[in-house]
Amino acid sequence: EHISGVDQSPLLLPELDVLENTALPLLLDGMGSESAFESARSALSAVGIEDLAGRDLRSLSGGHQRVAVARALVRPAGVVLADEPTASLDRANADRVGWLLVDQVRSNPQRALLLATHDLAVAGLCDRVVDLTMMPSNC
Protein backbone atom coordinates (compact mmCIF):
# COMPACT_ATOMS: atom_id res chain seq x y z
CA GLU A 1 0.00 0.00 0.00
CA HIS A 2 2.92 2.37 0.56
CA ILE A 3 5.36 1.42 -2.20
CA SER A 4 4.92 1.84 -5.94
CA GLY A 5 7.39 1.08 -8.66
CA VAL A 6 8.34 2.01 -12.18
CA ASP A 7 10.56 -0.60 -13.76
CA GLN A 8 12.79 -0.08 -16.78
CA SER A 9 10.58 -2.59 -18.60
CA PRO A 10 6.99 -1.72 -17.69
CA LEU A 11 5.30 -4.58 -15.88
CA LEU A 12 1.77 -4.12 -17.18
CA LEU A 13 -0.99 -6.69 -17.56
CA PRO A 14 -1.87 -7.16 -21.25
CA GLU A 15 -5.36 -8.41 -20.32
CA LEU A 16 -6.21 -4.97 -18.96
CA ASP A 17 -6.54 -1.70 -20.85
CA VAL A 18 -4.56 1.43 -20.02
CA LEU A 19 -7.09 2.77 -17.51
CA GLU A 20 -7.49 -0.59 -15.77
CA ASN A 21 -3.70 -1.07 -15.50
CA THR A 22 -3.39 2.39 -13.97
CA ALA A 23 -6.25 1.88 -11.49
CA LEU A 24 -5.14 -1.62 -10.48
CA PRO A 25 -3.19 -0.66 -7.31
CA LEU A 26 -6.19 1.26 -5.97
CA LEU A 27 -8.61 -1.52 -6.82
CA LEU A 28 -6.35 -4.03 -5.05
CA ASP A 29 -6.28 -1.67 -2.04
CA GLY A 30 -10.08 -1.97 -1.91
CA MET A 31 -11.01 1.42 -3.33
CA GLY A 32 -14.31 1.53 -5.18
CA SER A 33 -14.05 1.31 -8.95
CA GLU A 34 -15.54 4.74 -9.63
CA SER A 35 -13.00 6.49 -7.37
CA ALA A 36 -10.13 4.30 -8.58
CA PHE A 37 -10.88 5.03 -12.24
CA GLU A 38 -11.23 8.77 -11.53
CA SER A 39 -7.82 8.79 -9.83
CA ALA A 40 -6.37 6.74 -12.69
CA ARG A 41 -7.67 9.26 -15.25
CA SER A 42 -5.98 12.07 -13.31
CA ALA A 43 -2.68 10.14 -13.22
CA LEU A 44 -2.90 9.45 -16.96
CA SER A 45 -3.57 13.13 -17.56
CA ALA A 46 -0.49 14.06 -15.53
CA VAL A 47 1.71 12.00 -17.87
CA GLY A 48 -0.08 13.30 -20.98
CA ILE A 49 -1.89 10.16 -22.14
CA GLU A 50 -5.43 10.60 -20.86
CA ASP A 51 -6.67 10.07 -24.43
CA LEU A 52 -5.34 6.48 -24.32
CA ALA A 53 -7.38 5.44 -21.27
CA GLY A 54 -9.57 2.89 -23.05
CA ARG A 55 -6.84 1.52 -25.34
CA ASP A 56 -5.60 -2.03 -25.34
CA LEU A 57 -1.92 -2.20 -24.38
CA ARG A 58 -1.10 -4.17 -27.52
CA SER A 59 -2.31 -1.25 -29.63
CA LEU A 60 0.13 1.23 -28.10
CA SER A 61 3.17 2.10 -30.17
CA GLY A 62 5.04 3.26 -27.11
CA GLY A 63 3.51 4.90 -24.10
CA HIS A 64 3.86 1.77 -21.98
CA GLN A 65 6.43 3.51 -19.79
CA ARG A 66 4.12 6.46 -19.19
CA VAL A 67 1.31 4.06 -18.23
CA ALA A 68 3.69 2.51 -15.68
CA VAL A 69 4.57 5.96 -14.31
CA ALA A 70 0.88 6.86 -14.03
CA ARG A 71 0.22 3.60 -12.18
CA ALA A 72 3.07 4.34 -9.76
CA LEU A 73 1.70 7.82 -9.05
CA VAL A 74 -1.97 6.89 -8.77
CA ARG A 75 -1.71 6.46 -4.98
CA PRO A 76 -1.67 9.82 -3.20
CA ALA A 77 1.21 8.93 -0.84
CA GLY A 78 4.08 6.55 -0.29
CA VAL A 79 7.44 5.72 -1.77
CA VAL A 80 7.99 5.49 -5.52
CA LEU A 81 10.90 3.29 -6.58
CA ALA A 82 11.86 4.20 -10.14
CA ASP A 83 14.45 2.22 -12.11
CA GLU A 84 15.33 4.09 -15.31
CA PRO A 85 11.79 5.46 -15.71
CA THR A 86 12.78 7.62 -18.70
CA ALA A 87 15.07 5.19 -20.54
CA SER A 88 12.63 4.41 -23.36
CA LEU A 89 11.21 7.92 -23.72
CA ASP A 90 12.11 10.70 -26.14
CA ARG A 91 13.69 13.82 -24.61
CA ALA A 92 10.45 15.79 -24.27
CA ASN A 93 8.59 12.96 -22.54
CA ALA A 94 11.63 12.05 -20.42
CA ASP A 95 11.75 15.65 -19.16
CA ARG A 96 8.01 15.62 -18.51
CA VAL A 97 8.18 12.37 -16.54
CA GLY A 98 11.28 13.49 -14.65
CA TRP A 99 9.65 16.75 -13.59
CA LEU A 100 6.44 14.95 -12.70
CA LEU A 101 8.22 12.47 -10.42
CA VAL A 102 10.28 15.16 -8.70
CA ASP A 103 7.32 17.53 -8.34
CA GLN A 104 5.29 14.75 -6.70
CA VAL A 105 7.84 14.66 -3.89
CA ARG A 106 8.32 18.40 -3.59
CA SER A 107 4.59 19.11 -3.45
CA ASN A 108 3.59 16.19 -1.23
CA PRO A 109 5.29 15.59 2.13
CA GLN A 110 3.72 12.12 2.18
CA ARG A 111 5.61 11.07 -0.97
CA ALA A 112 9.23 9.95 -1.39
CA LEU A 113 11.16 9.00 -4.52
CA LEU A 114 14.17 6.75 -5.00
CA LEU A 115 15.26 7.07 -8.62
CA ALA A 116 18.00 5.20 -10.48
CA THR A 117 18.95 6.77 -13.81
CA HIS A 118 21.71 7.27 -16.33
CA ASP A 119 19.88 10.34 -17.65
CA LEU A 120 21.89 13.32 -16.39
CA ALA A 121 19.06 15.73 -17.18
CA VAL A 122 16.66 13.77 -14.95
CA ALA A 123 19.31 13.34 -12.23
CA GLY A 124 19.84 17.09 -12.32
CA LEU A 125 16.22 17.63 -11.27
CA CYS A 126 16.75 15.77 -8.01
CA ASP A 127 17.63 17.41 -4.70
CA ARG A 128 20.22 14.77 -3.87
CA VAL A 129 22.28 12.67 -6.26
CA VAL A 130 24.56 9.77 -5.36
CA ASP A 131 26.89 8.98 -8.25
CA LEU A 132 27.69 5.28 -7.95
CA THR A 133 30.38 5.47 -10.64
CA MET A 134 32.46 7.47 -8.17
CA MET A 135 32.06 4.95 -5.33
CA PRO A 136 35.19 3.06 -4.21
CA SER A 137 35.30 -0.47 -5.57
CA ASN A 138 35.48 -1.99 -2.08
CA CYS A 139 31.95 -0.84 -1.08
pLDDT category of residue 24 using cuts at 50, 70 and 90: very high
123 pLDDT more than 80: yes
Q: Above pLDDT 90, what percent of the chain?
A: 55
Burial class of residue 124 in the structure, from the number of CB atoms within 10 Å of its CB (0-12 exposed, 13-18 middle, 19+ buried): exposed
The letter for the amino acid at 33 is S
36 pLDDT more than 90: yes
d(CA 61, CA 118): 24
Residue 112, number of CB atoms within 10 A of its CB: 15
Q: Above pLDDT 70, what percent of the chain?
A: 94
Burial class of residue 114 in the structure, from the number of CB atoms within 10 Å of its CB (0-12 exposed, 13-18 middle, 19+ buried): exposed
Q: What is the pLDDT of residues 46-67, one digit of tens each?
A: 888 999 999 988 887 667 888 9
Model pTM score: 0.86
pLDDT category of residue 45 using cuts at 50, 70 and 90: very high
